Amino acid sequence: QVHVQDAGGGSVQAGGSLRLSCAVSGSTYPRIYIGWFRQVSSGKKREGVAHIDSNGRTSYKASVQGRFTISKDNAKSEWYLQMDSLKPEDTAMYYCAADTTRSGPDLEDWWYDYWGQGTQVTVSS
């Protein structure tokens, strides 16, 4: 059973930085696809923020391009979302998602099978 553990959220002022982490365990598959999603409130749709393939290819939501960086630590089976120049509109619950096979577009959430519990990011002006 694949388990996803995300962490690293917090409260920062606009212009600040945070680094989210995502640890994935229990997978025996050679490839893992990781996406970061965020949800402003429980009634809102989750939106894709960043994605990284098992070969290192990345993609980003346009509004975070150049400010957010997704990366992987191969030695630890951990993934990170470095968030710089944060804005109040980045405030949301952030979720790490994983899957072992690709079956959809990078930043759409419906095909990711494994999800972390979420970590809150709050950016004040």
Q: How would you write 82-123 as a 3-class SS string? A: EECCCCHHHCEEEEEEEECCCCCCCCCHHHCCEECCCEEEEE
Sign of the torsion angle spanned by Cα atoms 114, 117, 90, 71: negative
Tokens of 84: 């710089």
- 78-89 pLDDT per residue, tens: 999 999 999 999
Answer whether 97's CB lies under 8 Å from 118's CB: no
Low-confidence ranges of the chain (pLDDT < 70): none
Q: What residues does 70 pair with on adjacent strands?
A: 81
> What pLDDT, on the 0 to 100 scale, is given for residue 77?
86
How much is the pLDDT for 34? 97
